[in-house]
Amino acid sequence: MGTEYWGWAGEAHLREHGESGGAVSGLLASVLSSYDEVIVIRKTGTVFEAEVHTLDSPQGIARVQGALHAVSIELSHYLQLGRKTAIVLKPCEARAVIENIKRNHVRREDVLLIGLNCGGTLPPVKTKEYLRSQFGVSPGDIAKEEIAKGNLIFFTTDGQELSRSIDELEEAGYGRRESCRYCDVKIPSMCDIACGNWGTPAEKHITFLEVFTDAGAAALEAAVDGGYVSVSEPGEKLAAVRKKIEGIMVKMAKGWQEKMLGPFMAMEPKERLDAIHAALAPCIGCYACRKACPVCKCGDDCKCFQADPDDQLPISMFHAVRFLHLMESCVGCGQCSDACPMEIPLAHLHQLFAKAYEGRTGYKPGMSCGDIPPLSRGDFPEGY
């Protein structure tokens, strides 16, 4: 557990613009004196449209977003070796960075990981479709979206509040991306600082900050000293509420894991293999999954390419090698499923292997730079 604060931006315009008092924006403005750049997302149109954005000066910080629920750009792709970078990340992205650090694609001392608590993200096109069909609202008329108290809430530009229970939405095939439903990392404790509005008073516009590392503490201290961020002790009750929210969301995620992965796990090995064959059969060999994967960084030398592309094996060697590789590094971000043009549930399939591996070895990828993958350290549990 880290050191907890409530925080808000020192500058009025950042406080007004920021989603929860602008603490993250203030922090970013401050860290630019010691980092080469910050990587964030920037809204380009509606709440469904955004792009990756880099800043090397505080100018323009008010125009960037910490996160948008309907935007799931994988920012960890944009880190470069040797460049000092502060980056705002969801837990899955932060876990991907940790995995890249272990593989020497990024140096831990070069990056300041500012994590955002995350209850899940939404597939934009499906969510837009839902808005049109269920509420008769154009996506362009949405000013803001929020996930709170188990509901997905849209605020329209003319002041309406459109709300639906996430459970209901997801039962109907809408709601969060599938990988987000069963993701059980909601507060990014692998980051230097985790930020979010859980555990803050509803009437106040502030951010709950939890500092996990010395680098995070130094960054926050510098931001406070420089007047970029103000902090106070968090209310004890609300800090407990934050933990409670996390607990509820993790429990929900475990339920989804059981629901989505359980049937596969319950199968006999042969039956499971057949199910995997069937799921992979529509693959057209576009390699979009590999391109989208934030952990796979082998480049053109990747072993998954070394098999004959026209092999006639039931599972292509491309996928077989990826299952093996990602078994101990898949962070369950769901980018592979998002990218697949044939709608193969690749994230599910990878998580089948990753969760089984986690169950046997106790190793959960992306949680700490100090956790050495079992395949690297070679000390498997007896009988493995």
Within 8 A by CB and 6+ apart from 262, the residues are none
Query: Which lies closer to another protein via its Cβ, residue 34 or residue 165?
Result: 34
Q: Which residues of 331-348 are buried (b: 16+ CB within 10 A; e: fewer)?
A: bbbbbbbbbbeeebbbbb
Total Cβ atoms within 10 A of residue 359: 10
Token reading at 175:
């709601």
- CA dihedral over 63, 44, 296, 125, signed as positive or negative: positive
Eight-state DSSP code of residue 132: I
Nearer to another protein, 73 or 162 (CB): 73
Closest distance of CB 56 from another protein, Å: 5
Least distance CB 90 / another protein (angstroms): 14
Q: How far is the CB of 134 from another protein (least distance, A)?
A: 16
Among 119, 120, 102, 109, residue whose Cα is nearest residue 365: 102
The residues that touch another protein, with contacts defined as CB under 8 A, are 36-37, 44, 46, 48-49, 51-54, 56, 70-73, 78, 123-126, 128, 281-282, 284-288, 291-292, 305, 309-310, 338-343
Q: Is 108 exposed, middle or buried (0-12, 13-18, 19+ CB in 10 A)?
A: middle
Amino acid at position 109, single letter: E
Cβ neighbour number for residue 142 with a 10 Å cutoff? 22
Nearer to another protein, 6 or 48 (CB): 48
Closest to another protein by CB, 292 vs 347, is 292
Of 23 and 71, CB closest to another protein: 71
Report in angstroms how near the CB of residue 213 gets to another protein at its nearest.
25
Name which of 153 and 339 has its Cβ closer to another protein: 339
Question: Min. distance of Cβ 39 from another protein in angstroms?
Answer: 9
